[in-house]
């Protein structure tokens, strides 16, 4: 084998190693930021995000994609997006099941970092049990 072949193999191994490290870091981030909490939905919306594309000759246009957003009564915002790490591919159905005014137990992943536009991602929802109201107490007769 020539020096060029060895260099190509080393470059490929370095790229594979970097890919493994990045994927591992992404999985560690996703699993280390998991939280379980209760939310009361106040609103839902679809946020359209534009992604610019750059090439050798500069700006080459942009594309857009939609992200489902969920807002709570206490002023928090969450995104509802598919997640390869958690094998979640039903964000459309999950968004349809969320009802305004509904109380839910949610599993989230990620961090809310406003300056970077990061939101916690809702991974799983479960309808929270609403405690039954107690019947009024009867006054004792005298």
pLDDT tens figures, 92-126: 999 999 999 999 999 999 999 999 889 999 999 98
Q: What is the pLDDT of residue 15?
A: 85
Q: What is the pLDDT of residue 2?
A: 67
- pLDDT above 60 for 7: yes
Q: What is the pLDDT of residue 116?
A: 87
Q: What is the pLDDT of residue 87?
A: 92
Q: Where are the domains of the chain?
A: 1-32, 35-127
Beta strands in 56-102 (DSSP E): 58-72, 77-80
Q: Which residues contact 137 (CB under 8 A, 6 or more apart)?
A: none
CA–CA separation, 78 vs 106, rounded Å? 11
CB neighbours (10 Å) of residue 126?
11
pTM: predicted TM-score of the whole model, two decimal places: 0.70
Q: Which two tokens stand for residue 105?
A: 């137990």
Q: Which two tokens stand for residue 11?
A: 């470059």
Q: What is the pLDDT of residues 11-49, one digit of tens each?
A: 888 888 877 777 676 777 777 889 999 999 999 999 887
Q: Which two tokens stand for residue 37?
A: 């909490």
Query: Does residue 16 or residue 90 have the better pLDDT?
Result: 90
| Closest of 19, 23, 6, 39 to residue 108, by C-alpha | 39
CA distances from 58 to 2, 55, 61 (A): 37, 5, 9
Q: What is the pLDDT of residue 123?
A: 95
Query: Residue holding tokens 């080393």?
Result: 10
Give 37's Cβ-side CA count (13 Å radius). 15
Q: Which CATH number is correct for 35-127, 2.40.30, 3.30.2170, 2.40.50, 3.40.630?
A: 2.40.50
Out of 55-69, 73-87, 124-138, least confident range: 124-138
């Amino acid at each position: 084998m020539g020096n060029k072949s060895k260099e190509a193999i080393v470059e490929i191994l370095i790229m594979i190693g970097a890919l493994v490290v990045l994927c591992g870091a992404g999985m560690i981030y996703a699993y280390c930021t998991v939280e379980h909490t209760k939310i009361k939905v106040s609103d839902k919306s679809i946020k359209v995000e534009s992604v610019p594309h750059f090439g050798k000759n500069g700006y080459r246009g942009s594309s857009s994609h939609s992200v489902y957003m969920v807002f709570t009564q206490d002023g928090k915002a969450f995104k509802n997006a598919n997640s390869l790490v958690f094998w979640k591919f039903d964000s459309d159905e999950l968004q349809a099941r969320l009802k305004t005014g509904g109380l839910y137990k949610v599993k989230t992943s990620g961090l809310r970092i406003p300056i970077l536009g990061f939101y916690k991602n809702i991974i799983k929802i479960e309808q929270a049990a609403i405690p039954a109201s107690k019947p009024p107490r009867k006054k004792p007769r005298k």
